[in-house]
Structure formats: structure tokens, C-alpha cells
Amino acid sequence: MGHVDLHLAELSRTIDPAVLGQRIRTARVAAAMTQAQVAAGEVTAAYLSRIEDGQRRPEASLLERMATRMGVSLDDLLLGVSRDQVQELQLAVDHAELSLVSGDGAGALRAIDAVLADPAIQGTPLVLRAAQQVRAGALEATGDLDSAIVLLEKLTASPTPDAIWLKGLIALSRCYRESGDYPRAINVGEQAQAIVDELGIGGLTEAIQLTVTTAGAYHSQGDLGQAMRTCMRALEAAERYDSPVGKASAYWNASIVEATRGSASAAIDLARKALALFELSDDSRNLSRLRATVANMLLLQDPPDPEAALEMMSTIEREMSWSNASAWDISWLHLCRGKAHFLLGDHDAALASVARVEETKPTGAPTLEAQCLVLEGRIAFAGGDRDRARSLFRAGVHALTAAGADRGAAQLWFELADLLAEVGDHEGAVEAFRSAGASTGLRLPSRTAAVPAQR
């Protein structure tokens, strides 16, 4: 008798005895065998009767021998499906995942939903888990961040010492960040750190990338110091465990922090280090996202270089078309393209890019929505339509309010305040300046605090 598959051996110890017993009885009756024939002297017919009644659970090797005598497989008894069915389900999951990594998020979602609708998948826990992970990725890719978050919370609830669990946490933190919920994005990574250490998986590249993703959430929240410290922690781990992709991820996020601090030269140097490492890997999604970051840095440097940024974006768009880029990634690329066209004075092309953002942006991404409205307002103002500009800037205020009072919104609030002042909306400008201050943690003291104590 061959060696029993480890997964099936574990399942034989945990399966509901009543379910297993019913399957054994069904297989025995279908084979027209008596209990004594199936037992074959290894156990008594009375013992097999108790197994069929769900009162006993046989060990895996005995179960496999009985399955062979009945002409069925161990998979049939433990999973309720044949090995061929399991392979067919796994192949369907692989095809859906291929659609996802090829950039067809909607197609991947349709394909994986068809797989999950097959009742047989409930008997294959590993294939079911893989299918749910593909579905979470497809939901993120199509912009349904809320549904992706709900599914990822479920998938990561029980820690496992493998890269699959870590990838789920990375995706969960990223979805929270893209939806504007920075505190939860940070908590995902920070709370997992102790578990990662306990499980002994800190050397996996995905563990380092989770730390880097946490750094990205700190950056989005506006805590640049903690973001850089977290990047340095990730870089130390990447050096210790010799992880090129981990190093690239740490350099990438450190470059974003430097860019936010205004150190464009240092930011671009770090980004180029990251690019050199990513180009040696097969991580096409992160490679295209990093190129988009560099293109945006070219727009932020003084003076900006929109021509070089646009040239780089053409390459990025091609890469994103066949990689599993998310709706947020694609929308942000269109937004950067719009900013580049605006800097070059091509307002029609800038508006066309704004329209593409509206077509592709995910649900529940208020900061992205606000940036899009601000760009459209700038275009209107540059074209002399001050009333429309004021209206768009106000709409940007409303969108940004939905993001909450976090430091990541402070810069955009500050820009909005300046733009509202330019179009003559001084009341709105004052409100925006106040929101900018509140987003950085500034608060006015209570008026009662200034009242001298009565003697």
C-alpha cells in the first residue's frame, strides 16, 4: 500500500465521522459488498457497522485499504469527490488566476465564481482556499475594495506558516490603504509581526514585503518618520535573509518617503536601485507600479519633466495591460498622465485622462477621487472658467472629507485651500486650511483654557 497523502491523512483525523460513515456505506452498497467483505478480516463487521453509523473514525491506512476493496479512492471517501474532479477544479482555478495575472480582472471574477458555484469544491479545502484567494484578487482588480476586504479578512483569520497567508495580509493591508483606512492598513501589518516571529517565517520574502506594505500605510497616513524607520527595518531583514525582492520593496517605499520630504534626487536614486532589483525578478505587477512611482516623481521634481514622465507611462500602460494591475493602479496611472498633459498645457489630453480615471477608479477610494476633481478644477481654472473650478474644488473638499482627518490628506487639503483662495472662495479656503491643520494633528485649544482662574 502506498504512502497516504499528508493532507488526506490529516483530513482522516478531522472529518465528521457521520459524513465519512455515510460515504463508506454508499460506496459499499454501490459495490454490492457486505460489511464482512469490506472489513476483510482486518476489523470485525460490527466495528465497520459502527464506522458507518458515525460512531468510529478509522485511521487513514485502513480507510485506504477498504476504499481499494470497494473500488473507490481515498479522495472519494474523504473529499466526497474523485481525484479527477479535484484536478478539474484546480485546473479551472489556475485558468482564472491566469486571467487575473494577464490583466483581465472581470474575466477572472466570472471564471472563479463559476468554480465556486460547483458544490464539489466544498470537499476540497485546499482548492477552495486557492479559489477564494483568486476571487479576492479579482475583486481588488475590478475595484470592489469592500468585498475584497471582507473576503481577505476571512482568509487571513487563521494564521498558517506559509507565504499564502502573508500574501493575503499584504493584499488586505493594501486594500485598506487604497480605501483610505490607513489605521487598519497599519494594524494588519503590526499585529501580524508577533505571529510571524512566533511561526518562524520572518525570513520569507513575503514577510519582508508585509513590513514594507505597513511602511506604505504609515506614509499614506503622513507619519513619514515611522514610515522610513519601518522601511529600514525591512531593509535590514532583506539583507539578513538575502532577499533581492525584499530589498527592492524597501528601497521603493523609502524613495516614496524621500519624495514626500522633498528630496527628489535621493528619491529617484532609491527608486533606481529598486528598479534594478525588480527587473531581475518576475514580479511584473510591482515592476510596473514602481515605474509609475518614478514617473510621478518626475512630475514632482523642480523643475518637473512631464515629457520624460509621459514616455515612461507608455511603457507602464503596456505592462499593466498584461499584468494583474488593480483598478487603483490603473486609475492612478491615468491621473499621473493627466497631470503631465496639464503641465504641458494640453488641456484636452488632460481631460481625456481624467475621464479614464472616472472609468477605471475603484469604489471607496476618496483620496483618488479628490485628486481627480482637483486636477479637473485646475484645468477649468486655467481655461478661465472660475465658477466651474470653484465647484470642482468644492466637490474635492467633499470627497476628501470622506477620507477622514488623517495626515495623508493634509497636503491635498493645503493645495485645495490655495486653489479656493485663487477662485475667490475665501470661506472655503479658510475651512480647507483648518482641515489641513487638523489632518496633521493640530487642534485649537479650548476657549475655556484661556480663561484665568477665579480667585
3-state secondary structure 202-267: CCCHHHHHHHHHHHHHHHHHCCHHHHHHHHHHHHHHHHHCCCHHHHHHHHHHHHHHHHHHCCHHHH
Cα(420)–Cα(416) distance, integer angstroms: 6
Termini Cα distance of the chain: 95
Angle of helix 17-30 relative to helix 45-52, nearest 10 degrees?
A: 120
Confidence at residue 124, expressed as pLDDT on a 0 to 100 scale? 80
SS3 for 300? helix
Cα(2)–Cα(354) distance, integer angstroms: 62
Least confident of 136-140, 168-172, 235-239, 442-446: 442-446
Residue extent(s) of CATH 1.10.260.40 domains in the chain? 6-80
Confidence at residue 408, expressed as pLDDT on a 0 to 100 scale? 53
Residues 294, 328: contact at Cβ < 8 Å?
no
* Residue that wins the pLDDT comparison between 326 and 349: 349
Count CB-CB contacts under 10 A for residue 381: 18
At residue 405 the predicted structure's pLDDT band, cuts being 50, 70 and 90, is very low
Residues 210, 192: contact at Cβ < 8 Å?
yes
- pLDDT exceeds cutoff 50 at 414: yes
At residue 1 the predicted structure's pLDDT band, cuts being 50, 70 and 90, is very low
Q: How many helices (H) and strands (E) would you count in the chain?
A: 24, 0
CATH topology of domain 6-80: 434 Repressor (Amino-terminal Domain) (1.10.260)
* CATH superfamily of the 365-442 domain: Tetratricopeptide repeat domain (1.25.40.10)
Confidence at residue 449, expressed as pLDDT on a 0 to 100 scale? 43
Residue extent(s) of CATH 1.25.40.10 domains in the chain? 365-442
At residue 331 the predicted structure's pLDDT band, cuts being 50, 70 and 90, is very high
pLDDT in tens, 240-284: 999 999 999 999 999 999 988 888 889 989 999 999 998 887 777
Q: Exposure pattern of 323-354 as b/e (b: 16+ CB <10 Å)? A: bbbbbbbbbbbbbbbbbbbbbeebbebbbebb
C-alpha grid cell for residue 44? 470485525
Write down the residue that cell numbers 499614506 correspond to: 220
Residues 171, 180: contact at Cβ < 8 Å?
no
Cα(218)–Cα(326) distance, integer angstroms: 21
Please state the rounded mean pLDDT for residues 175-201: 95
* Residue that wins the pLDDT comparison between 5 and 255: 255
Helical segments of 322-449, H only: 327-343, 347-360, 366-382, 386-401, 410-422, 426-439
Cα(131)–Cα(89) distance, integer angstroms: 9
* Residue that wins the pLDDT comparison between 364 and 67: 67
